[in-house]
Amino acid sequence: MGDIDGNTLLARSLKEQGVEYVFGIVGFPVIEFGMACQMEGLHYIGMRNEQAACYAAQAIGYLTGKPGVCLAVSGPGFLHTVGGLANAQINCWPVLVIGGAVAQDHEGIGGFQECNQVELARPYCKYSARPPSVPLIPMHVEKAIRLTMYGRPGAAYLDLPANILSQRVLEEIVPAQYKVGPIPVIYPQPSLIEKAANMLIQAKRPLVIVGKGAAYARAETEVTNLVNYTNLPFLATPMGKGVVPDVHRNSIAPARSLALQQADCILLIGARLNWILHFGRPPRFSPDVKVIQIDICAEELNNSVNSAVAIQTDIKPAILQLLQILESRKYVFDRKNDWWNQLNKKCSDNRSGAQAMALDVSTPLNYYAVFHHLQQLFPQNPIIVSEGANTMDIGRAVLTNNLPRHRLDAGTFGTMGVGPGFAIAAALWCRHYAPNKRVICVEGDSAFGFSAFGFSGMEIETMVRYKLPIIIVIVNNSGIYGGVAKEVYSEFQESGEGTRTVPPTTLAFSTRYEKMMELFGKQGHFCETIPELQNAVKAALSVEDSPSIINIIISPSADRRPQTFAWLTESKL
């Protein structure tokens, strides 16, 4: 045995723990570590912004079930990852951030990019630490990886000073590497499953809500079997879409408000009663609703409401046991009862309203027409990445997901700027696991502005460099939420600098984002009509070694169809 340096030992430790992907930006003091990752057989993806790198690393963690790694330089580079760390922690996705740090003998005297990174990361992590010596690197890697995966998934941070990375030690003094064992399975308390079954059987207006936790748990077979057998109506949270196919006849997504407001018993599978589900409280929910909560995290139970049954468990065994009891009692919910009749009528009425908007192809276009015609042209079961306000929300209702983990969006933290990072991760996953699948990144123009010119600047160059055939669709209404008409915008421009007159939600009118492709000698697509959109999508689908940008201009005043409630439940305090 010879000697080994910290860079090599760190890369080797990641490899031995099953890590496959490292996303990052190299610079002092982590250049050699980036090279060591490739020497050890890891996929290293050089990004253009640390925040985008962290988004990509957590998305690959969600798609594979194994944490991706984000690599950042010290100081400002690490600080750029904090938004990504918080997003992963709150979104419950596994990721490990590794930050280079100032050499220990330079700490306290104004070292280059000196920053208290361990403490800054701690509020947004399950584990934040600095290995105190080279031989202890493997121990800290194992613990960090284990904690990102065990229990509720989340983020971890490891701090590596320059002197630790470059130091060489004898391999014989490095302790044997422990490997992360299989994730422990938490089984439900049988009496609670029995109680949940009794409650469902007695319910007059039952509802199943399928969350992102069910997707991460790979519980699609069990949950779909439950819906198929019991005939219960179901709703999916944004990233719970596809666990049970959107086209399933029991999906009552168009009647979401009615279903939430009038259900008397809700089976909540891997979803949290946070803002996305309006906290489970009136007026969005019945004040007498009984909630059956199934979650892997004990601290989540009874967090917003006092659940009638709160079960800490992995989802697969819980749903299997619940279905066994319901089958033994031959429980099937009658599709001819009043509850199904109400839901079906509401679904039909709301679909009719949306369909009328989808068929209105007058210019400037509206959201529903754009998404309807995109849906007709998309290949089968693409991974859809989406961010923006109306773009994300309306797109969720129109663009279908019939497979789990095929929708990645702004998530629980509501983060804008995630699109390019998520799309890069999804395209790499497709390359290695589903080579015939395509990634469609649907962005509002303000969200794309965050991504392309802000947080994730020039990640399109990353896509070009790695030959990732991501189709970026920008739904451009010239504003944040909404812009102003061309004539009004021109008046603002003519009036002077506009800092006291241009509304804060206004962006430049019809920005030509597609021209970014010309930076790389490629052609983007500018669309104002449905035929132009159709031609652009067909052209983009023919490209297999490069990203494409389709910039679709819609009305600045385009909006979602009228809602029973505002999309965000507001505090009344």
Report the share of the chain in percent with pLDDT over 90: 87
Contact present, 237 and 275 (Cβ < 8 Å)? no
**What's the pLDDT score for residue 1?**
66
Is residue 302 over pLDDT 80? Answer: yes
Strand partners, 24: 46, 71
Looking at 285-406, which runs of residues are DSSP E strands?
A: 290-295, 309-312, 383-387
In this structure, the number of other CB atoms found within 10 A of the CB of residue 184 comes to 9
Query: 73 versus 177: which is more confidently predicted?
Result: 73
Kindly give the pairing relationship between strand 3-5 and strand 168-170: antiparallel
Contact present, 437 and 381 (Cβ < 8 Å)? yes
Contact present, 198 and 328 (Cβ < 8 Å)? no
**What's the pLDDT score for residue 563?**
65
**What's the pLDDT score for residue 451?**
55
Angstrom distance (rounded) from CA 126 to CA 329: 42
Length of the chain: 573
Is residue 50 over pLDDT 90? Answer: yes
Query: 70 versus 496: which is more confidently predicted?
Result: 70
Strand partners, 156: 96, 127
Contact present, 251 and 237 (Cβ < 8 Å)? no
Is residue 376 over pLDDT 90? Answer: yes
Nearest alpha-carbon partner for 383 in 398, 370, 367, 399:
399
Is residue 115 over pLDDT 70? Answer: yes
Is residue 333 over pLDDT 80? Answer: yes
Strand partners, 46: 24
**What's the pLDDT score for residue 470?**
98
Structure tokens at 447: 């969200």
The DSSP letter of residue 414 is: T
In this structure, the number of other CB atoms found within 10 A of the CB of residue 193 comes to 25
**What's the pLDDT score for residue 456?**
61
Confidence of residue 449 (pLDDT cuts 50, 70, 90): low
Contact present, 47 and 417 (Cβ < 8 Å)? no
Could you report the per-residue pLDDT of 509-534, keeping only the tens digit for each? Answer: 899 999 999 999 999 999 999 999 99
What are the two backbone dihedrals, phi and then psi, of residue 167, each rounded to the nearest 5 degrees? -65, 145
Q: Which amino acid is at 399?
A: L
Average pLDDT over residues 293-317: 97
Mean pLDDT of the chain: 94
Is residue 391 over pLDDT 80? Answer: yes
Strand partners, 364: none
Structure tokens at 183: 């994730």
The DSSP letter of residue 5 is: E
**What's the pLDDT score for residue 138?**
97
Contact present, 276 and 266 (Cβ < 8 Å)? no
**What's the pLDDT score for residue 564?**
63
Is residue 94 over pLDDT 80? Answer: yes
Confidence of residue 218 (pLDDT cuts 50, 70, 90): very high
Lowest-confidence region among 6-10, 279-283, 557-561: 557-561
Could you report the per-residue pLDDT of 421-433, keeping only the tens digit for each? Answer: 999 999 999 999 9
**What's the pLDDT score for residue 365?**
97
Average pLDDT over residues 3-25: 97
The radius of gyration of the chain's CA atoms, rounded to the nearest angstrom, is 25
Confidence of residue 498 (pLDDT cuts 50, 70, 90): confident
Angstrom distance (rounded) from CA 266 to CA 285: 10
The DSSP letter of residue 330 is: T
**What's the pLDDT score for residue 458?**
83
Structure tokens at 20: 């496959």
Confidence of residue 177 (pLDDT cuts 50, 70, 90): confident
> Cis (ω within 30 of 0) for the bond into 364?
yes
CA 294: distance to chain centroid?
21
The angle, 0 to 180 degrees and rounded to 10, between the axes of the packed helices 6-16 and 137-149 is 30
Lowest-confidence region among 32-36, 136-140, 307-311, 501-505: 501-505
**What's the pLDDT score for residue 137?**
98
Contact present, 27 and 48 (Cβ < 8 Å)? no
Nearest alpha-carbon partner for 50 in 383, 405, 462:
462
How much helix, strand and coil, in percent to the nearest 5, is found in the chain? 45, 15, 40
The DSSP letter of residue 491 is: H
Angstrom distance (rounded) from CA 151 to CA 445: 37
Report the first-to-last Cα separation within the chain, whole angstroms: 67
Is residue 229 over pLDDT 90? Answer: yes
Write out the DSSP string of 530-546: HHHHHHHHHHHHT--SS
Is residue 419 over pLDDT 70? Answer: yes
**What's the pLDDT score for residue 493?**
79
Nearest alpha-carbon partner for 320 in 210, 226, 230:
226
In this structure, the number of other CB atoms found within 10 A of the CB of residue 519 comes to 12
Could you report the per-residue pLDDT of 452-496, keeping only the tens digit for each? Answer: 545 565 899 999 999 999 999 999 999 988 888 888 888 887 777
> Cis (ω within 30 of 0) for the bond into 317?
no
The DSSP letter of residue 350 is: H
Angstrom distance (rounded) from CA 258 to CA 235: 11
**What's the pLDDT score for residue 502?**
85
Residue pointed to by tokens 């052609």: 523
**What's the pLDDT score for residue 359?**
94
**What's the pLDDT score for residue 570?**
72
**What's the pLDDT score for residue 33?**
98
Structure tokens at 22: 């490292």
What are the two backbone dihedrals, phi and then psi, of residue 21, each rounded to the nearest 5 degrees? -125, 135
Could you report the per-residue pLDDT of 350-362, keeping only the tens digit for each? Answer: 999 999 999 999 9
Structure tokens at 289: 């609703």
**What's the pLDDT score for residue 486?**
85
Question: Residue 259 belongs to what H/E stretch?
Answer: helix 256-262
Query: 453 versus 447: which is more confidently predicted?
Result: 447
